[in-house]
Amino acid sequence: MIKSCQQHGFPGRGTTILPCIQKSGNRILIFILFFFFMLPVNIVIAADESGGDNENHYSPGLKRGERLFYGLIEGKFQGNACGDCHNTMEIDTFNWNPNAWEIAHKYKDRSVEEFQKAVLNPTGRTMSVTHTSFNLNEAEVELIKKYLDHFEEQGLTKQKPIINKILLFLLLGALLTWIVLEVLFLKKVRRKWILGVLFIGALGWQIQLLLDAGIALGRQENYEPDQPIKFSHWVHVTDNHIDCNYCHHTVEHSKSAGIPETELCMNCHIIVREGTYSGRHEINKLVNAYENGDPIEWIRIHNLQDHVFFSHAQHVAVGKIECRTCHGPIENMHRVKQVTDLSMGWCINCHRDTEVQFFENDFYDKYEALHRAVKAGEIERVTAEQVGGTECSKCHY
Amino acid sequence: MEKYWRSLDEYKNGPDQRTEKVAEEEQKNLVLDLASDKVAGAKASRRDFLKLVGFSFATAAITSSCEKPVQKAIPYLIKPEEVTPGKASYYATSFFDGNEYCSVVAKVRDGRPIKIEANELSPVSGGGTSARVQASVLELYDQARLRAPGKGRNKSSWEEIDTLVKEQLRASSSGRKVLLSSTIISPTTKKIIRELQDKYPDLEWIVYDEVSVEFIRMAHEKIFGKAVIPGYHFDKADYVVSFDADFLGTWLAPVEFASGYAKKRDVSKDHPEMSKHIQFESGYSVTGSNADERFPVSPARSKAILVKLYNAVALRTGAAGLSGTACDFDVNAVAEGLLENQGSSIVISGTNDPDIQMMVAGINVMLGNYGSTLDLFRTLNIKQGNDRDFLELKKSLKEKDVSLLIMSNVNPVFSDPQGAEIGEAIGSNGLSVYIGSSYSETAKQCQYVAPDHHYLESWGDAEPVRGTFSLQQPTINPLYDTRSFQDSLLRWTGSDQTYYEEIRKYWKSALYPLSGSTGRFEDWWNEQLQKGVFMVNGNPVSYKDPNLSMIGPGNIPKEEGMSLTLYTSVGILDGRHANNPWLQELPDPVTKACWDNYLAISVADAGELELADEDVVEVNGLRVPVLIQPGQAKGTCSLALGYGRTVAGKVGDNVGVNAYGLVTAEGGFRRYTVQGITIGKTGKTYELARTQTHHSMEDRPIVRETTLDAYRRDPNSGNQFHLDAESHHDSLYPETEFDGYHWGLAIDLNKCVGCNNCVVSCIAENNIATVGKEEVKKHRIMHWLRIDRYYSEDVNNPKTYLQPVMCQHCDNAPCENVCPVAATMHSNEGLNQVAYARCIGTKYCINNCPYRVRRFNWFKYVNNDEFNFHLNEETSKLVLNPDVTVRSRGVVEKCSFCVQRIQEKKLEAKLEERSLEDGEIQPACVQSCPTGALVFGDLNNKESQVAELKENERNYHLLEQLHTLPSVGYLTKVRNAEGGDDEYHDHHTIDHS
């Protein structure tokens, strides 16, 4: 970094600047501020250039590869170009196609011939349809590979952070400060009631923001991360009619529903090697993981706090609760999303309303008083709450 | 009713002054040391408050917009068949640490053992464990474990060690080649050692015990012709006389003995019979506290009494007497009792003295106890150490005449009186290899260190009692690059078999034919693995007719000066588990001190020597703090062995002082009583951490007792107050009714021996933090279950009462209605529940609990290096029970009746669509209690054991006059003595206003 600064004629930071501050006044200070403001930009450019020079990557071929990838060269793609299906930026929406980085990563250490074969003569069903319109020769595919090798180091482009609640909160804070200053010192606004309204409004909004944030702390409703493998419950449950219990086979006798072991996936995928939407790429990941003995690191979506005890067996096998009651229409999800906030209020509400298998399950024979009450017609049904389902130590211990 | 007192201050000064002093002390301790004194002393200004408010607002805003860390869920690649994520598996296995045996069931959750349960099928350890066994699971994850073969502290390899050892074994050098091991009870291991010796005939095998009881075996050798330790059947003994044997706490096989002993202490209206237990001892042991009559006597006097008793029994049975000694003790009553129970009495001694052990055996012979209470057929295989062989080895080591020394699971550098010399000598001899699971004083001196498995990682078998076998199976893959001792031996023999294969081979060839099983061996083997234990009848053993002619009183020392008894404490025992924080923080059942050993001296001697508690004295060159122990025999003092380890690990290093140096040895035979010691004052003091005074219940009838005599006359005796209190239970409010279940616990104070097993079991089950000595001193120990100890009567020989106290789960709980945030409330099953997430730490509930069972988390004990025990280590944290929340700073916690176990069993019943059976749910304390003193169950079910016990005449509740309506009931203690407690009501008039 320092080296590149010196190349551009900037003085080293510690040596000359500090004495300057002592000698002269505001102008120097402004210069310094300006200098620091500019500094990161200079460094970034310098770093890019030097990196390019050293590794000999930033060549015209690479540039052409990039343009080919994005379909910027006329006549090469009739339909979608590579970049149209294989995103190079992080996206919120679900994309069945592997993103550019995944492809780049997969082919990084493989030969150009393999890549050429995969692009131009695909064997997979989806790819053989979409890739037919390509008008690329082998040299061009090689250039694309070159670009992808470069891209692999860079990674997906991060999305710029959107203006979030902190900024709003800080702005409101600034507004409040201004109102206080105005009232105490500046005294320019004549109609004081405007300030009053503004003050109450801004403060109220801030409090609302804090409350919302506080309540949502640790909750993640609508959480829908990308998984390492694009596993679709829709395809497996709705299209192929696989019972939930087949994969989540501990759900009826353990607290944990159980994420299926890779071996279980292979029961079917030893034969099924191509997906309806995903082609071969995703299933290949599974097969590779199984063959290499790497466990699959799924992203956990439904997270209860450590101090909550939850048992699937209790709810599914004993309480006869449907999966979708808590997990939503999971059979229609390509990518799993948390549909409930899993808050204690949500739990308790359900425990108040839900009937237990009071007459079917002999366990509840012990509750003699409740049985008497039902017989006498005092109550119609027995909810979880009535057998103690809303008490602390049923879930917290 | 006896007058009870809790500490010497209270005894001397009366309760009021004591309370004042404690209050003053507590006031001092109340200063928060959360920050430095300066900060604690400073006043918080309005400005600080605003700063805090601003800071917390900003933090809340920032944290809310930050993304939560991504959590991963990683499933198995190939799921092992027997593992269900989220569900525990149980494996029967065997605990044997070279000293103590116990058949256990390991609870394994998601692949890691987290709790030790008792194996109810075992004929040896019954349904019980000991505190040490409970704590052993933590040692699996101990940081001090050896992780890879080493040369000194540097890395080595198994190949290197194997090559060197084999070379040395083969070499025809002049030096001795020795395998030094702890007692080995595994028949397969013995076979492997024999095979190694067959291959290398000049290899000697020497067995070494850290604490020797060799004279028991020698006495039997002289009298019966075979060096054995007999089996002791306390369940058949109606009259027990023990001389300095702490058979309920530490002596030989305490779990087995306590279990048998308690069977004879089970008193009921239909069966008002119990054994009589006489204890002669110098220190105050937990066994002594259970005795019907306890006599504090010095070791010399104890021997004289034994001679007199021998003669009294000999006179009546027609045997030859011994030359009499002058002793003013009247043994007639004891002799009478023994003679009345010929064949159903038992006399034992814990002193390692040839004359004493011979006389004890002699008395038992005369009383015809061999064959009934003493078993020469099912003999004990533990404690096979040979002192003479070891003495020879010591000599050879000093003469540099050892070319190969392999040591397994022994620590003579620490536990031998000349340990330091041995340590130095090891280096100047030939190749030395240490085999063990953790680093130690001895390992430090050896050239090579060969790490052994922890018992939960290893295969194994055991024959603790002749004809009773048990299997040990791994419950987890070895965590580190370790190899079992037996596998090492097999490599050195040149065998390509593994230890597992050898065990199977042995069981197939030697035991399977004895089983009478006609099925396949594989099926039989699996069955044994599942049960963990196997018994054969075996061939009878022939002994020669008892020969009493060699018995003599020997030399009886004069009672001059002070005598010192070196004993093993219930928690630390011989010191091999010193790095276990659970055991270090376990208070001694009688002194209630932890994290140290100390010199216990009698009240009278302390007066004469002008010593106070915590004064540091010098005993034969060893500096040690004083603890004044009521009931300590005058002229004696006691000091625990096993402390003062220097190479044990971060917890056990430099805790207490090493008293092994005071052990005397004549001809290699180690003696644990030292006559004529000098006690020199040093003028220094040293604070001891005692849990004694911080659970004061202040002069109320907490422990109730009666005598067997009075109980026979009136089953309510000693418990009249219960009826009185019951009659006053009027309330404006309707009585709470529990539909469904109402959990309750009954504790039979007559069966509870105070062994501390439940305390550690509770710690392991409920993730209870270790707080360390400094915090214990500030009364901040976190144990949910404690054993209270009260003294009565005479300060020179008080009776001692032990009482387990946990949350009483009051149906009218004082703690519940003072909680400002409703964090503690009553469940519809009668549980007093705490929601930690809701607790804000006002501690109102602690202040309002009359039983002092609630604990406050003054600090975050997890991931906090200030509490450098086990909860700040990644591996040690694997021992945590995932079903129990780890509490954070600022919340109150207490016994939950193991609600996680209740819920687990309820769920099992629901899944099977059936009602719960009585006894199905067992909280941790109940499950492993060796005496069955605790009974848990449903009070609503009138046929349940606990409901029946609630109706028992002996049942009462703690502080029942307060109308707290506890769900825990206690059963009056009954001492087998004459007289009664008729004047009870005169002593205690309770004000009901």
Assign residue B341 the CATH number of its domain. 3.40.228.10
Residues B928 and B808 in one domain: yes
B741 touches chain A (CB under 8 A): yes
Q: What is the Cα–Cα distance from B925 to B187, expressed in whole angstroms?
A: 33
Contact B838, B816 (CB under 8 A): no
Residues near B47 by Cβ (< 8 Å), separated by ≥ 6? none
Q: What is the Cα–Cα distance from B580 to B231, expressed in whole angstroms?
A: 30
Residues B675 and B788 in one domain: no
Distance from CA of A148 to the nearest CA of B (A): 28
Distance from CA of A164 to the nearest CA of B (A): 8
Tens-digit pLDDT profile for residues A207-256: 988 888 777 777 788 888 889 999 999 999 999 999 999 999 999 989 99
B286 touches chain A (CB under 8 A): no
With respect to residue B430, please indicate whether it lies within any of the assigned structural domains: yes
Give the single-character DSSP code of B879: G
Task: State the residue range of the domain holding A241.
Answer: 225-342
Nearest CB partner across the interface for B911, out of A225, A261, A317? A317
Q: What percent of chain A has pLDDT over 90?
A: 41
Nearest CB partner across the interface for A370, out of B64, B72, B739? B739
Name B280's bridge partners. Answer: B243, B295
B64: nearest CA partner in chain A: A213
Tell me which residue has tokens 């379909």: A71
Residues B711 and B856 in one domain: yes
B829 touches chain A (CB under 8 A): yes
With respect to residue A159, please indicate whether it lies within any of the assigned structural domains: no
Give me the CATH number covering residue B802: 3.30.70.20
* Biggest alpha carbon–alpha carbon distance for chain B: 93
Structural domains of chain A, count: 5
With respect to residue B556, please indicate whether it lies within any of the assigned structural domains: no
Question: A313–B71: do the CB atoms touch at under 8 Å?
Answer: no
Nearest CB partner across the interface for B910, out of A214, A299, A318? A318
Residues A48 and A71 in one domain: no
B73 touches chain A (CB under 8 A): yes
Q: Using alpha carbons, select from B395, B431, B438 the residue that is nearest to residue B414.
A: B438
With respect to residue B894, please indicate whether it lies within any of the assigned structural domains: yes
Helix (H/G/I), strand (E/B), else coil: A15: helix
With respect to residue B309, please indicate whether it lies within any of the assigned structural domains: yes
Residues A265 and A316 in one domain: yes
Distance from CA of A306 to the nearest CA of B (A): 7
Using left for φ > 0, alpha for ψ between -120 and 50, and beta otherwise, residue A75 falls in left
Give me the CATH number covering residue A94: 1.10.760.10
Name B88's bridge partners. Answer: B109
Weakly modelled stretches of chain B, pLDDT under 70: 1-68, 324, 692-699, 793, 980-993
Domain boundary among B628, B661, B690: B690
- Our measurement of the distance from residue B406's CA atom to the centroid of its chain's CA atoms, rounded to an integer in Å, reads 30
Best probe of the A interface among B53, B56, B65, B110, by most A CBs < 10 A, is: B65
Residues A199 and A244 in one domain: no
Contact list, B914 vs chain A (CB under 8 Å):
362-363
Whole-number Cα distances in Å, B732 to B661, B735, B813, B942: 66, 9, 15, 26
Residues B823 and B916 in one domain: yes
Residues B300 and B358 in one domain: yes
Tens-digit pLDDT profile for residues A332-374: 999 999 999 899 999 999 999 999 999 999 999 999 999 999 9
B858-896 CB burial, b ≥16 within 10 A, e <16: bbbbbeeeebebbbbbeebebbbbbbbbbbbebbbbbbb
Tens-digit pLDDT profile for residues A128-143: 777 877 878 888 888 8
Contact B602, B633 (CB under 8 A): yes
B734 touches chain A (CB under 8 A): no
Mean pLDDT of A86-96: 82
Position A17 pLDDT exceeds 60:
no
Best probe of the B interface among A392, A394, A395, by most B CBs < 10 A, is: A392
B898: nearest CA partner in chain A: A397
Indicate the residue type of B913.
Answer: E
Residues B207 and B243 in one domain: no
Nearest CB partner across the interface for A363, out of B77, B836, B914? B914
Tell me which residue has tokens 């499950």: B927
With respect to residue B101, please indicate whether it lies within any of the assigned structural domains: no
Nearest CB partner across the interface for B61, out of A210, A262, A368? A210
Q: Using alpha carbons, select from A379, A385, A365 the residue that is nearest to residue B940.
A: A365
Question: B835–A253: do the CB atoms touch at under 8 Å?
Answer: no
Nearest CB partner across the interface for A388, out of B64, B77, B829? B829
Residues B234 and B311 in one domain: yes
Contact B954, B971 (CB under 8 A): yes
Measured from the Cβ of residue A294, the count of other Cβ atoms closer than 10 Å reads 12
Size of interface A-B (CB pairs under 8 A): 174
Structural domains of chain B, count: 4
Residues B961 and B872 in one domain: yes
Whole-number Cα distances in Å, A69 to A119, A148, A215, A279, B868: 12, 9, 45, 20, 57
Q: Using alpha carbons, select from A232, A240, A245, A241 the residue that is nearest to residue A322.
A: A245
Residues A236 and A334 in one domain: yes
Nearest CB partner across the interface for B73, out of A253, A300, A394? A300
B89 touches chain A (CB under 8 A): no
Residues B160 and B258 in one domain: no
Task: State the residue range of the domain holding B251.
Answer: 230-380
With respect to residue B434, please indicate whether it lies within any of the assigned structural domains: yes
Helix (H/G/I), strand (E/B), else coil: B167: helix
B728 touches chain A (CB under 8 A): no
Distance from CA of B943 to the nearest CA of A (A): 14
Residues B790 and B674 in one domain: no
Residues A179 and A288 in one domain: no
Nearest CB partner across the interface for B77, out of A262, A311, A363? A262
A369: nearest CA partner in chain B: B739
Nearest CB partner across the interface for B61, out of A213, A216, A218? A213
Question: B57–A293: do the CB atoms touch at under 8 Å?
Answer: no
Contact list, B835 vs chain A (CB under 8 Å):
392-393, 396
Q: What is the pLDDT of residue B594?
A: 92
Distance from CA of A369 to the nearest CA of B (A): 6
Pull the structure tokens for residue A296: 């699959």
A226: nearest CA partner in chain B: B70
Interface of B with A in 914-933 (CB under 8 A): 914-916
Q: What is the pLDDT of residue B31?
A: 43
Q: What is the pLDDT of residue B731?
A: 83
Residue B869: CA atoms inside 13 Å, Cβ hemisphere, count? Answer: 22
Contact list, B88 vs chain A (CB under 8 Å):
none
Nearest CB partner across the interface for A365, out of B60, B838, B915? B915
Helix (H/G/I), strand (E/B), else coil: B856: strand
Distance from CA of A90 to the nearest CA of B (A): 16
Distance from CA of A290 to the nearest CA of B (A): 7
B885: nearest CA partner in chain A: A307
Question: A299–B838: do the CB atoms touch at under 8 Å?
Answer: no
Contact list, B54 vs chain A (CB under 8 Å):
none
Tens-digit pLDDT profile for residues B171-217: 887 889 999 999 999 999 999 999 999 999 999 999 999 999 999 99
With respect to residue A160, please indicate whether it lies within any of the assigned structural domains: no
Position A310 pLDDT exceeds 80:
yes
B915: nearest CA partner in chain A: A363
Residues B751 and B857 in one domain: yes
Residues B662 and B713 in one domain: no
Distance from CA of A271 to the nearest CA of B (A): 18
Contact list, B57 vs chain A (CB under 8 Å):
210
Q: Using alpha carbons, select from B470, B568, B564, B463 the residue that is nearest to residue B104.
A: B470
Q: What is the pLDDT of residue B989?
A: 41
Give the single-character DSSP code of B374: E
Host H or E run for residue B536: none
Q: What is the Cα–Cα distance from B523 to B471, expressed in whole angstroms?
A: 15
Residues near A385 by Cβ (< 8 Å), separated by ≥ 6? A351, A352
Residues A248 and A210 in one domain: no
Nearest CB partner across the interface for A318, out of B79, B911, B940? B911
